[in-house]
Each structure stands twice: as structure tokens, then as C-alpha cells.
A = this chain, B = another copy of it.
Amino acid sequence: MGSSMGRKNPMRNAVLVNGVILNGPITDSKAGEKFVEDACKIIMEEVIQKAADVTEKVCEWHPPEKLKKLLDLEMRDTGEPHQRLLQLCQDIIRYSVKTNHPRFFNQLYAGIDYYSLVARFITEALNPSVYTYEVSPVFLLVEEAVLKRMIEFIGWKEGDGIFNPGGSVSNMYAMNLARYKYCPDIKEKGLSGLPRLVLFTSEECHYSMNKAASFLGIGTQNVYFITTDERGKMIPEELEKQVQRARKEGAAPFLVCATAGTTVLGAFDPLDKIADICEKHGLWLHVDASWGGSALMSRKHRKLLHGIHRADSVAWNPHKMLMAGIQCCALLVKDNSDLLKKCYSAKASYLFQQDKFYDVSYDTGDKSIQCSRRPDAFKFWMTWKALGTTGLEERVNRALALARYLVDEIKKREGFQLLLEPEYTNICFWYIPSSLRKMEEGPEFWEKLHQVAPVIKERMMKKGSMMLGYQPHRGKVNFFRQVVISPQVSREDMDFLLDEIDLLGRDL
């Protein structure tokens, strides 16, 4: 009976109900364990051991219709045998983008962290859900410990927080929390009949602000976007004007969402000055530091977030620069009067019984919009344990130093043009093929330049040599955005990046 120790022969005293034999387990544990073992070998060889290898392809590109034919996606009546399933695993891996490749620069996450990866494997094997201490004792304590340290790094004396599935969701949490603080009745009565609630954020904010405003019933028209300066930072004087405008309109301003590390330009809003305005007007200050929060780990670079300790709430995603694995996102709240719980609780009596035999204040599930919730703090904790605070700091410092190196190289090289001096590790630049280099910067030039990045992107994808994002942005035609994150990345990769763009695009 393999690992089903302690089981009796299932056929002794067989019980049959509705045609089903109920004795003994029906799964073949031995076969299952063998499959896990064999698959782990494939994962080790095909993903983990190749992760740091620049000679591997970042992706093996196929368009959707072709890829559907290459993969056997159909789910049939009968199951597939062991070897066939292993082949499927191979195929899944083969045709997937290698986000841990040293030359995957396409998003705000990249690279492989061996320690968080182990935590993630443990999580999957244990399959916990963090709502009550009785089913997740370890992971709730880990979450508490991690939140406490993150709160220290923000500079609060105390606070509260919760991990949740994404910075977008963190921003929603904050928006709802600010609304609850503004008017607790809304939880029960809703927004109907109330004056327009208005929130303020910069033009460069993450698109989740609009998603949140619409989801929460506030409406996207009630997100007032504040003009930014040429580096993408919110202009405090413009914020002041907009708050006054909203007041004059008879609306109810309740929240400012500043951004620490914008998605495209990597800009940091001037938090201290924004905090002054929030204080003056009695507005909740939320800082979306999903991307930039990790700079808090660096004594050298934490000044980018100067004033963050004055925020009422902060969103910070260790899955980005600190490589905790998707997703690992905390919403942190300065309030320590159980505001999170008051705002979110629904007091389900089947889950949060009050007559339990332990201290039920550890049952944190009622702070969440979710019921089942993954123990995302754990993967960050494991990396922190393995590297120490100084190791995390070193990662941040190195990423910023590499970004600086790339900026200097871009300035040196013909055909590359920086959009702006970066504050963080988002390096935005155009590649100008030689055919355009002598052209006047008029409408025709920009129109032609706009078409360059997509073509180079297509070529790099089909070659599989690297992945790099591009976008148009606020009147600027398509430009590349290089984001430096992974400690597997070196200056050689920065050089490669520029060489490769030139190689792929010089004929354009």
C-alpha cells in the first residue's frame, strides 16, 4: 500500500454506496509521488538550472494559433499516461517565456530568487489558506513578523497591514479604507445619495487607480489627475488647486494617492510636500509604492521616498525589485486602532468563532476582502532570512548602479536617445535607426520613430534573445523602457541590450 500506512486491505468488509466502493483511498499515492519526483527533475533541469544561463532563449515565440497546435490543450474523458504528462510539462516549460532569464526586462519583475522559490514550493505542498490561526499558525505569525519589519522601514512606530493579490488590489484596499475613515456609514449605506467623493492622483499613476475608482462605485470621473513636472512627479501646487476646485464643485475630497516609483518613468512624487497638503485639508494620504517601495531597503536610496512616514497607507510589492515571486504585495496602514478589521469585517460565524480555545486576535482573515488567501509574506520572509537586510539592500543598490551605467552608455552611443534622466531603474530611451538620424524632428520623424520599437520588439521575440518593453506615453511616441531588477544581471547584459537593439534595428 505504499505510503498509505496504517490502512487495512480495502477489500475487507467492502462497503458499496451508490455503486462506489468506499473502502481505502482511491488515489495511487505511489504513482502520484513518482510523477511529482519526475516532474521536479524536469523543473530543476529545464527551468532552475537554465535560469542564469544567457545562452538559453528568453522565449520560443509562436503566434497563438500555431502554439495551440503545438500544445495538446484538449481535456478528454480519459486521463493521459505518466510519460505523456511529463511530455506536457516539458512542452509547457519550453513554450513559456523565461521570466527568470537574465535578459528578461519586459516587466517590473524578473530573475530567479532561489530562497523565495523554496518558500513557494513549500506553500504549494502544504496548500494553506491564511484566515485563521488554527489552519495557518506558522504563516500568520510569519505575516505578522514581515508586516512589522516593513512598517519599521516605512518609519511608522506602529501599524497594521495585510498581504493581498497585487498592487492594484492594495490600492483598492487603501481607497476603501480612506472612504471608510471619511464616512464609516458608507459600509452599510453605500454611496447612493451622498455627494461625489473625489480622489487625487498624478497623471503618471498606475492604471489601477481608474480600475479601483470604478470598482468601488466612485467612478473614474471622480479621479482628479494632477499635472506632473517634466520628470513625471506630481506638482504639489496643482494638487492644492484641484482640491480647491473639488470643494468649490461641492464634491467631497477624501484621498490623495501619491506614487513612489511610477510604472513607466519610475518617478517619485514629492511625498513630504503632498503630506503637507493632505494634512491641511484633512485628506487620507495613500502612497502607491508598489514599485518604488523596495528602495526603502537601501540607506543610500531611501531618500527617494522622503516623507513616506507621513502616509496613512502604503502599497509595497516585494515581488518586484525584491524578487519574492508573483504575487507578494502588502498594504500597510499607519492606523493601529483596528481600522482594517472594522472596515472589512463580515464576522462569518463558521470561520471566526469567538469561543475558540486560543487568542482569536490571530485570526486575521476578517481584515481581508478575500476568504481563502495565500501566505505571500512567507516567500519574502524566506529571502530576507537568507540574504539578511544587507543582502536586500545590496540588490537595490546594484540595480540602481546598473541603471546608472546603462544611462551613461546610452548617452555615449550614437542612435540612442534618453527620454529623461531617471530617478530609479526605469530607463526610457529611443533607438533611432541611421535612416532617421539626419532627419529633422518634425511630425514625419516622430511618426517613423513610433514604428521602430514595435518592429525591433517583434524581431527580438522571434529571435528569443531578450525581452524588453516599449510604449507610447503622454504624447511621446513609442520608446523602450529598460527595467533593471535581477542580481543575475550584469553590465555585460546592459551592453548586450544596446548592441542587440542596434543589431536588430539598424536597417530600419
Among B142, B263, B370, point to the contact of A165 (Cβ < 8 A): B370
Copies of this chain, whole number: 2
Interface: A248 (CB within 8 A): no
Q: Is B350's CB under 8 angstroms from A469's CB?
A: yes
Residues of chain A from 1 to 45 with CB closer than 8 A to chain B in the complex: 2-8, 10, 15, 17-20, 22-27, 29, 31-33, 35-37, 39-40, 43-44
Q: Is B381's CB under 8 angstroms from A114's CB?
A: no
Q: Is B27's CB under 8 angstroms from A487's CB?
A: yes
Question: Measured between alpha carbons, how far is A318 from B4 in the docked complex, in Å?
Answer: 25
Question: Measured between alpha carbons, how far is A398 from B469 in the docked complex, in Å?
Answer: 49
Residues of chain A from 311 to 367 with CB closer than 8 A to chain B in the complex: 319, 325-327, 344, 346-351, 353, 355-359, 362
Which of A98, A206, A370 has the most B CB atoms < 10 Å from its CB? A370
Question: Measured between alpha carbons, how far is A20 from B373 in the docked complex, in Å?
Answer: 39
| Residues of chain B lying within 8 A (CB to CB) of residue A373 | 165-166
Sample of 15 A–B contacts (CB below 8 Å): A3-B49, A18-B400, A18-B401, A20-B402, A25-B490, A26-B398, A33-B114, A36-B121, A47-B125, A73-B141, A75-B384, A120-B124, A190-B218, A207-B348, A215-B216
Which of A49, A139, A215 has the most B CB atoms < 10 Å from its CB? A215
| Residues of chain B lying within 8 A (CB to CB) of residue A369 | 168-169, 172, 211, 215
Among B32, B71, B206, point to the contact of A114 (Cβ < 8 A): B32
Residues of chain A from 242 to 284 with CB closer than 8 A to chain B in the complex: 263-264
Q: Is B67's CB under 8 angstroms from A141's CB?
A: yes
| Residues of chain B lying within 8 A (CB to CB) of residue A222 | 189-190, 192
Q: Is A188's CB under 8 angstroms from B220's CB?
A: yes
| Residues of chain B lying within 8 A (CB to CB) of residue A59 | 137
| Residues of chain B lying within 8 A (CB to CB) of residue A420 | none
Which of A229-237, A387-395, A432-440, A441-449 lines the interface with chain B? A387-395
Residues of chain A from 454 to 498 with CB closer than 8 A to chain B in the complex: 454, 457-458, 461, 467, 469-473, 478, 481, 487-492, 494
Question: Measured between alpha carbons, how far is A489 from B27 in the docked complex, in Å?
Answer: 9
| Residues of chain B lying within 8 A (CB to CB) of residue A142 | 73
Among B78, B122, B146, B207, point to the contact of A75 (Cβ < 8 A): B146
Beyond A75-B145, A263-B350, is A194–B196 a contact (Cβ under 8 Å)? Answer: no
Interface: A52 (CB within 8 A): yes
Give the size of the chain A interface in residues (CB under 8 angstroms): 197
| Residues of chain B lying within 8 A (CB to CB) of residue A106 | 134-135
Interface: A285 (CB within 8 A): no
Among B92, B100, B141, B398, point to the contact of A122 (Cβ < 8 A): B92
Beyond A114-B32, A216-B217, A454-B357, is A93–B121 a contact (Cβ under 8 Å)? Answer: no
| Residues of chain B lying within 8 A (CB to CB) of residue A405 | 15, 17, 22
A154 to chain B, nearest CB (A): 15
Interface: A397 (CB within 8 A): yes
Residues of chain A from 111 to 130 with CB closer than 8 A to chain B in the complex: 112, 114-115, 117-118, 120-122, 124-129
Question: Measured between alpha carbons, how far is A358 from B61 in the docked complex, in Å?
Answer: 11
Among B17, B47, B71, point to the contact of A141 (Cβ < 8 A): B71
Name the CB-closest residue of B to A217.
Answer: B217
Name the CB-closest residue of B to A459.
Answer: B357
Which of A100, A133, A137, A190 has the most B CB atoms < 10 Å from its CB? A190
| Residues of chain B lying within 8 A (CB to CB) of residue A4 | 52-54, 488
Q: Is B49's CB under 8 angstroms from A221's CB?
A: no
Name the CB-closest residue of B to A85.
Answer: B386
| Residues of chain B lying within 8 A (CB to CB) of residue A309 | none
A148 to chain B, nearest CB (A): 9
Q: Is A165's CB under 8 angstroms from B167's CB?
A: no
| Residues of chain B lying within 8 A (CB to CB) of residue A146 | 75
Besides the contacts A36-B117, A67-B137, what 16 more A-B pairs have beta carbons closer than 8 Å?
A: A3-B52, A5-B55, A22-B494, A25-B489, A26-B394, A32-B112, A47-B122, A73-B381, A78-B390, A97-B134, A117-B124, A176-B215, A191-B192, A191-B218, A208-B346, A357-B461
Which of A10, A165, A405, A454 has the most B CB atoms < 10 Å from its CB? A165
Interface: A187 (CB within 8 A): yes
Interface: A57 (CB within 8 A): no
A394 to chain B, nearest CB (A): 7
Interface: A182 (CB within 8 A): no
